[in-house]
Structure 1
Amino acid sequence: MKLVYVFDAYCGWSHGFSGTLAEIVARHPDLPVDVVSGGLFTGVRRQPIRTLGYVKGANDKISEMTGAEFGDGYQRLIDDGSFVMDSEAAARGMVALRQAAPDRAAELAVALQRAFFIDGHSLSTPDTYRKVAEAAGVDADQVIGALHTPATRAAAEADFRRAAELGVDSYPTLLVAAGDRVVPLTHGHATADQVDRRLAAVATGLAR
């Protein structure tokens, strides 16, 4: 049995779920976690952040419901308005990070979101991944070297396809997979206790 976490690094609700994800990982250290990037801001959806009029209101709601913080660095990006979120670049970065430390993919996904939503660092910039890797004690040169390779691009595209095949069209989504069965645990916000109860129910059902 393993967890499958489908998120987008530029998704505020995924950032809001980071605390729950970290707690679930801490409670279940022997339960593997696949991290899959979704394509929230790709194609025509890659637009300056000023065009996304819902962002500030959504962030206020995320903070109210989850306690997630949005830092000064991120707020400066919002105020300027010209920053373009590119989920394909972020997905490549996530691929490079998880290749360098496969067993720590969930932790690195949380760190990547903090780099954007707290510090305001672009997830299209190699220096961001160097900072995240070095802070986590991961081989930064390996991560940077992988960012733009054909294999990493292909893996990012494979993530988008996998998310679609899993039927995920909103982020974050947490699923549990056992053999050929994949069962949703939560879409959007949930507490660690809520996730644990659903996980226990699924595990009981699978054991019957």
Structure 2
Amino acid sequence: MKLVYVFDAYCGWSHGFSGTLREIVSRHPELPVEVVSGGLFTGSRRVPIREFGYVQGANAQIAEVTGAEFGDGYERLIADGSFVMDSEAAARGMAALREAAPGRAADLASALQNAFYVDGRSLSDPTTYRVVAEAAGLDADAVVAAFEAPEARAAAAADFRRAADLRVTGFPTLLLAGEGDSVAPLAHGRATADEIDQRLAASTATRTS
């Protein structure tokens, strides 16, 4: 069995879920974690952030409910409303980080969201991945090269297909995957670590009974 975490690096609720995910991963080191980028802002949704008038209100709610930080760097980045959230670029970056350290994908997803939501770094900028990689003790040159390589687009597209195949329609979603195509939902949007543990125990008991 393994956990499958479907998120989008530009999704505020995914950012709010990061602490819960870290707690679940620490409680269950026996469960590998597959991190999948969902593709929230692609195609016609790849527009200046001012087009999403709900963002600031939603962020305030996320901070209140989850305790997630939205830093001054982020506020400066989006202040004039022109910044474009490009989930395909973010997915390429996540794929590059995941390739460098597959076993640390959950932590790297959280670090990527902090780079945007706390530090105000664009996830379309190769420098962002250099900074995240260096902080994580990874080969920054290799990560940046992977982000910029043609294969990264294929990896992002594969992630989007994987999310669709899992029938994930919102982010974040945490699933428990078993044999074959068997998956059980553990969280959608938000949940506490204790709530997820209860669902995990129930799903595990069902699978082993």
TM, length-normalised to structure 1: 0.98
Correspondence for 2:173? 173
Offset at residue 153 of structure 1 (A): 1.1
> Could you tell me which amino acid in structure 2 is paired with residue 81 of structure 1?
G
Q: Deviations over 1:58-102 (max 9, x none)?
A: 001101111111000011123221100000000000000000000
Paired letter, 1:115: A
Q: Deviations over 1:14-51 (max 9, x none)?
A: 00000000101111112100000011000110111111
1:150, distance to aligned residue in structure 2 (A): 2.3
Counterpart of 1:61? 61
Alignment correspondent of 2:192: 191
- Find the counterpart in structure 1 of residue 16 from structure 2: 16
CA-CA distance at 1:148 after TM superposition: 2.2
SS in 2 for 1:80: coil
Counting only pairs closer than 5 Å after superposition, residues 43-192 of structure 1 correspond to structure 2 as 43-180=43-180, 181-192=182-193
Letter in 2 for 1:195: I
| Contact 2:126–2:148 under 8 Å retained in 1 | no
Give 2:201's aligned residue: 200
- The answer on whether the counterparts of 2:36 and 2:163 sit within 8 Å (CA) in structure 1 is yes
Aligned pairs, number: 208
Q: Secondary structure at the match of 2:90?
A: helix
* Alpha-carbon distance between aligned partners in 1 of 2:138 and 2:171, rounded to the nearest angstrom: 26
Describe the superposition over 1:150-203 as per-residue Cα deviations: whole angstroms up to 9, x where unpaired: 222111100000101100010000000011211111100101111111101101
> Which residue identity does 1:122 align to in structure 2?
S
Distance in 2, Cα, partners of 1:16 & 1:88: 21
In the alignment, which residue of structure 2 is the partner of 1:5? 5
3-state SS of paired residue (2:148)? coil
Q: Which runs of 5+ in 2 are unaligned?
A: none
Q: Measure the CA separation in 1 of the matches of 2:151 and 2:49.
A: 29
Q: Partners in 2 of 1:77 and 1:11 — Cα distance?
A: 16
**Partner SS for 2:73:** helix
Q: Mind listing any 5+ residue stretches in structure 1 that lack a counterpart?
A: none
Superposed structure 1 runs of 4+ greater than 2 Å apart:
none
